Amino acid sequence: MKLQSLPLLFVSISLHAFVVGGFVPTTSKIILQSTKANVVASSPRTPSLLHTSSDEFMEVEDARDELLKLLLKRFRSKAAKEEENRIEYLMNFLKNANTSFDPEKCLNGELYVALYAMGPQPFWERLTGLSFGGGRKNIKGQKYFNDGNGNYNVRNYAEFLGKDFSVEAVGKCVKDEEPEIKENEEKVVEERPGFFARVFGGESVSSNDSDNSVANVVTCPANYTIDATGLSFNVFQNKLNFDIEGRGYMRMLYADEELRILDTPKDTESAGGAIDEKAGLLVAQVRVDLIDPEFSLP
């Protein structure tokens, strides 16, 4: 079935979910630029609440632990305005931290669920924010699969009435080319217990000492282009499939094995202008088993 027969409403819902819909925990390993330097975030909106003297010297691990805790709390119960302000502060902190990640561990494989969004409100957010039987909120997320050629197949999933009415979109995700690195540019190294002790003790340190080699890591921000190719609606266990064409843009700003932060750096492109996703949407995503250990895609 072709896209022309599909109401624009459903098309809009689907590709919105495709671009930023979901991206939670095993033990995370964070790879920082150079050393484990203190990162100073931008000025918060509510200094008395959000910015304390300790925040000036906050480390990335502390920020991500606090953010993850607040996101999970907010998903399970209504958050106070002060907590939402804190979530936004921590998202911006990590956004500006310029960390690195191993895409095989932090991008490939698991479904990640969108738990908080800042900036332009996507259309699907008005619907997927509703709750259904038992009080569980609808899930919207993304699942990436390494295609063996360095790129990813993408499966996006968004619920509207739980699994009884959900939408999936599939496509290809390709990392954008980066400018050539200057020879004298600082290299990314892994922070791990005992690293500096071994260096200054005269022991050589090889990238093979870790399961995260420098050659495999990606430094944030990292830009990706996503081309949508297919769409399906799951309605009470009946599936309707459609062909679609559209292009979305994703920029990874922070990623570990439990938490991801990303934004949309450009407006979405689509045939006939059916999709109108604007740039500037910032999303925090958490691995699905943290909010529902028994969840499985339909």
The reported pLDDT for the residue numbered 267 is 86
Query: Does residue 295 form part of some domain?
Result: no
Does residue 172 or residue 184 have the better pLDDT? 172
- Cβ–Cβ under 8 Å, residues 101 and 217: yes
79 falls within a domain: yes
Token pair of 233, please? 């609606």
Confidence of residue 111 (pLDDT cuts 50, 70, 90): very high
Question: Is 7 within a domain?
Answer: yes
162: burial class by Cβ within 10 Å (0-12, 13-18, 19+)? middle
Q: Total domain count for the chain?
A: 1
Task: Determine, yes or no, domain membership for 298.
Answer: no
In a domain, 239, yes or no: yes
pTM of the model: 0.72
Identify the pLDDT of residue 187. Answer: 45
Q: How far is CA 12 from the centre of its chain?
A: 20
Taking residues 23-32, report their average pLDDT: 34
Q: Is residue 111 part of a domain?
A: yes
Chain mean pLDDT for the chain: 74
User: Residue 213 above 60 pLDDT?
Assistant: no
Q: Which of the four pLDDT bands, split at 50, 70 and 90, describes residue 197?
A: very low
Cβ–Cβ under 8 Å, residues 242 and 232: yes
**pLDDT level of residue 31 (50, 70, 90 thresholds):** very low
Sign of CA dihedral 134, 293, 12, 232: negative
Nearest to 17 by CA among 92, 98, 129, 150: 129
Residue at 257 is within a domain: yes
Q: 296 lies in a domain?
A: no
Segments forming the whole domain that contains residue 52: 3-290
d(CA 147, CA 101): 19
* Torsion on CA atoms 75, 161, 108, 150, rounded to nearest 10: -140
Of residues 29 and 120, the one with the higher pLDDT is 120
pLDDT band of 123, cuts 50, 70, 90: low
What percentage of the chain has pLDDT greater than the value 70? 61
266-279 pLDDT tens trace: 988 766 655 567 89
